[in-house]
Amino acid sequence: MVQVFLDGDLVKTHAVLAQGKRTDRSDYPPEKIAFQMRTPIWCRTQASEVGDARRIVVDQLLEVNALYRLRAAQGIVGLRRKYGETRLEAACTRAIAVGDPSYRTIKGILIAGTETDPEPESSGDAGAAAFLHGPQRLFASVAPFETADEIHDDRVHGEAEESI
């Protein structure tokens, strides 16, 4: 038996374990134990209460390596306190649309206040740089390709003329 005293008063008694350790969560202040209480299940439940976009983001985060990404999921859930449910849901929707539903992206959207900005119109180039125009425009004004035989014939004839 292990007993803990404070100023001569018995505060806590623990049964000794043969090996390992046991933690009584009631001994910790709430702010210190909050991380352990906010499990992946808790995050998913909280995310479902607000809207579909936030639930999708949290589910994607916790799909692989849930414990590694738990802090990010907790962070997304916690953004509700600072920015409100409506803005957070809109930011999650926006992050999904741009293909990067991460905590950093969602927080950046909220800080910038761009969660309600309209989607930019697609130019059909799948995000290619401005100087890339696609195969239709590329080949519209260009002569047909020369075959390897034609290129070889030109070189052979050119070399023969040079040697004369």
Tally the domains of the chain.
1
The string of pLDDT tens digits covering residues 112-136 is: 888 887 766 655 556 555 566 666 6
| In a domain? residue 124 | no
Question: Per DSSP, what are the bridge partners of residue 25?
Answer: none
Amino acid 9: pLDDT = 92
| In a domain? residue 123 | no
Measure the CA–CA gap between 156 and 150, rounded to whole angstroms: 10
| In a domain? residue 100 | yes
| In a domain? residue 103 | yes
| In a domain? residue 127 | no
From 76, 64, 127, select the one nearest 98 (Cα to Cα).
Answer: 127
pLDDT in tens, the chain (164 residues): 888 899 999 988 888 888 877 777 777 777 666 656 677 777 888 888 877 888 888 888 888 877 778 888 888 888 888 998 889 889 999 988 888 888 999 999 999 888 887 766 655 556 555 566 666 666 665 555 555 555 555 555 555 555 55
- Containing structural domain, residue 44: 2-116+133-163
| In a domain? residue 126 | no
Measure the CA–CA gap between 120 and 118, rounded to whole angstroms: 6
From 73, 104, 71, 109, select the one nearest 88 (Cα to Cα).
Answer: 109
| In a domain? residue 122 | no
Exposed, middle or buried, 93 (CB in 10 Å: 0-12/13-18/19+)? buried
Contact criterion met (CB below 8 Å) for 43 and 49: no
| In a domain? residue 52 | yes
